[in-house]
Amino acid sequence: MEERLQKLIAQAGIASRRASEELITAGRVTVNGKVAELGQKADLEKDRVLVDGRPLKAVEAPVYIALNKPRGVVTTADDELGRPTVLDFIPISTRLYPVGRLDLDSEGLVLLTNDGEMANRLSHPRYEHPKEYQVLVARQPDLQQLEAFRHGVVMPDGYRTVPAEVRVEASHGKGAWLNVVLHEGRKRQIRETCAQIGLPVVRIIRVRIGSLRLGNLKPREWRHLTPAEVEALKAPNKILRRSAPKDRRITRPRRDPTSTASPSRKTPKAPRR
């Protein structure tokens, strides 16, 4: 079946659909030995498509899997240090890619798929798919710490994180469980943020990616997504407006010097007789 080249390239996980269009217009894609044109279609069962000289293979049937990643496991397809990876728990021959990385000591929901287009969409910060976490901290947070987390903090590299949703769910000894919802995916963002505001992290569990929830999966357990879950993840995500940082001044429109009316005051009504 013929499909547009940019769709085939995106499905193969080489680039997003927009970036695939740029590959085509740059002359880096050929079909049966001829430089491809934007909008051209191809059938990978019949046509030989090359991207930067490498053959584009037909994509296997899409697979979507939710895994509860335990601690001590890396969220990659392969690890040069020989550590266990999330793919070690999935006995499937199809080549899968993890979406939504978690660091070695974090646990919880990881999505694995061979759908490159979905992987790019869920990973791209533009779409701001919310990710929800249960975070155990070693001490009770005060209001100032919670407000700093909510409004964003300056990371060691100078980047200021966007506002997050944070609430205390329950006390736990001297510490507390926090519910945290992030709208960006900075590396080790929760750990770095907590370090900045003085909250030692004990445990991080991701429980949601977009509309997909961890549910009752136990560590190391996995399952296939339902068709309804796949469609919900593919649905367009509403891009959220980011709140302006406190140190950023909001520019107000200048007043017309020829105008006699005050923009901030309403004209008083005439008194009733």
What tens digit of pLDDT does each residue of 27-79 get?
Answer: 999 999 999 999 999 999 899 999 999 999 876 788 999 999 999 999 988 88
Mean pLDDT of 227-251: 59
Q: How confident is the model at residue 205 (pLDDT cuts 50, 70, 90)?
A: very high
The CATH fold of domain 64-234: Pseudouridine synthase (3.30.2350)
Token pair of 21 as six digits: 């269009």
What pLDDT is recorded for position 115?
87
Where is average pLDDT lowest: 127-131, 177-181, 212-216? 127-131
256 is catalytic: no
Taking the whole predicted model, whether its pTM rises above 0.75 is answered as no
Whether 152 has a pLDDT exceeding 80, the answer reads: yes
Q: Is 118 helix (H, G, I), strand (E, B) or coil?
A: helix
What pLDDT, on the 0 to 100 scale, is given for residue 58? 76
Burial code (b: 16+ CB inside 10 Å, e: under 16) for 92-122 equals: eeeebbbbbebeeebbbbbbbbbbbbbbbbb
Mean pLDDT within 240-251: 36
Q: What's the fold here for domain 3-55?
A: 3.10.290
> Active-site residue among 52, 103, 115, 256?
103
Mean pLDDT of the chain: 84
Q: Where are the domains of the chain?
A: 3-55, 64-234
